[in-house]
């Protein structure tokens, strides 16, 4: 009996260890708020991909890739469409994942009724404010953060006007107006400015810092800066340079996050070892800055990357983990309940113990209850199938169910 109880306890402990490890689990153990991914309805409709995307231990946060942008949410004036985004929000809520909501005002993916409407300054401001009020209001209380304004700067740090209906009609004032409107629609959300090529010190990073100061000078709230992090393998540089740049933003009283991280490498001749090193460099930099709250990769599998002829993500086109996965995991440090190496060793020991001393571990019943987040089912799983109160065993995929 003692042997049986020891085996059951070891089984429960191993299940907890296994379920508590992953990219997000390591990030949280390192003191960050999340490690997340961009996700789309394309992923939701691919069962194999979605099984990875739903795993809370790897992804504690979602960003809708396109489903919350202007053209998707207000395709015609005053007519709002939320169906696709709502599906992603529902999945995030079911899995306990944080939402970074993206993006309210951008020069791209704006419907033609806006860009070709010939609206004057006052009318376009009212259109923008109405859009923000409706979209942010629809998701009020569900978004940890909003990317309020996206990519409003030129490479030299000046404000974009060419190609931007907002910049060319309203001027830079559209930025603080948008932040004020977002704050009014959801006072509880963090409000971010989001842009690319600001990962290292330079003209554009300085321009982004000046934009933050400008928004504050208008009296509008701004809480964060999103460094998109679209990088190229072999060109990332040192962690110390990334840290110094982030500190330039946090010194302004805002938090920072990598919001769209990927690491381009040619799919025809990839350098996955260097890619893994570069991902680890970015993680190490974020880890060193208290105000860096988390990292979002812009998708997780090369099958659905937005970058053509590239293999920029931690999973390959066949949904297999690449070297980058392990490098990110290790760069965060040990998980809160033990490293992945320890977990694997314990699992092997437990299987041997339960087989030799007490037979297979029971499937539920007998007082066996899996803890919150622990595994409770799946092909080949022989542990507890009943969850500790008040949690229930929820199906994730054929190989994994979890107490949620």
What residues are annotated to the active site?
151, 260
SS3 of 388, please? coil
Write out the two tokens for 182: 């977002």
Strands (DSSP E) contained in 160-217 are 190-195
- Per DSSP, the residues of 233-292 read TT----HHHHHHHHHHHHTTT-EEEEEEEEEE-BTTS--HHHHHHHHHHHHHHHHH-TTE
Distance CA 112, CA 256 (A): 33
Angle of CA points 96, 335, 37, to nearest 5°: 45
- DSSP-based three-state secondary structure for 182: helix
Tell me the three state secondary structure of residue 289: coil
SS3 for 339?
A: coil
What is the bridge-based pairing of β-strands 375-377 and 190-195? unpaired
Is omega for the bond preceding 103 within 30 degrees of 0, making it cis? yes
For residues 290 and 234, what is the distance between their CA atoms, to the nearest angstrom? 26
Name, in order, each residue with C-beta under 8 angstroms of 247's C-beta and a sequence gap of 6 or more.
Answer: 289, 291
| DSSP at 135 | H
Helix (H) / strand (E) element for 3: namely helix 2-19
* Angstrom distance (rounded) from CA 258 to CA 385: 37
Asked if 296 and 36 count as a contact pair (C-beta separation under 8 A), the reply is: yes
Residue 194, strand partner residues: 150, 226
């Amino acid at each position: 009996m003692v042997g049986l109880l020891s085996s059951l306890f070891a089984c429960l402990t191993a299940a907890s260890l296994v379920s508590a490890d992953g990219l997000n689990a390591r990030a949280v153990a390192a003191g960050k708020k999340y490690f997340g991914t961009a996700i789309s309805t394309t992923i939701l409709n691919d069962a194999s991909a979605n099984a990875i995307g739903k795993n809370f231990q790897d992804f504690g946060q979602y960003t809708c890739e396109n489903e919350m942008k202007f053209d998707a949410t207000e395709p015609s004036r005053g007519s709002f469409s939320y169906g696709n985004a709502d599906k992603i929000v529902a999945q995030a809520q079911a899995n306990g994942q944080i939402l970074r909501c993206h993006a309210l005002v951008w020069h791209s993916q704006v419907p033609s009724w806006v860009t070709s409407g010939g609206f004057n300054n006052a009318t376009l401001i009212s259109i923008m404010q109405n859009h923000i009020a409706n979209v942010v209001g629809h998701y009020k209380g569900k978004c940890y953060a909003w990317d309020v304004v996206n990519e409003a700067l030129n490479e030299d740090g000046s404000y974009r006007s060419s190609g931007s209906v907002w910049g060319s009609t309203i001027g830079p004032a559209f930025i603080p107006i948008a932040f004020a409107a977002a704050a009014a629609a959801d006072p509880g959300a963090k409000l971010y400015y989001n842009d690319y090529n600001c990962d290292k010190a330079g003209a554009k990073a300085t321009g982004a810092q000046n934009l933050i100061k400008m928004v504050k000078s208008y009296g509008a709230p701004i809480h964060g800066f999103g460094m998109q992090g679209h990088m190229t393998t072999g060109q990332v540089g040192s962690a110390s340079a990334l840290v110094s740049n982030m500190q330039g933003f946090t010194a302004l009283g805002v938090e920072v996050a990598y919001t769209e991280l990927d690491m381009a490498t040619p799919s025809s001749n990839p350098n996955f070892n260097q890619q893994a090193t570069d991902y680890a460099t970015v993680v190490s930099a974020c880890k060193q800055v208290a105000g860096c709250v988390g990292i979002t990769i812009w998708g997780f599998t090369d099958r659905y990357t937005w970058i053509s002829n590239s293999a920029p993500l931690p999973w390959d086109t066949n949904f297999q983990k690449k070297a980058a996965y392990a490098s990110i995991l290790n760069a965060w440090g040990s998980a809160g309940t033990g490293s992945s190496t320890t977990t694997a060793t314990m699992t092997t020991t437990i299987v041997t113990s339960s087989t030799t001393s007490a037979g297979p571990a029971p499937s539920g019943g007998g007082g066996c209850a899996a803890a919150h987040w622990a595994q409770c089912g799946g092909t080949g799983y022989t542990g507890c199938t009943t969850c500790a109160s008040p949690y229930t065993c929820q199906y994730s995929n054929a190989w994994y169910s979890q107490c949620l």
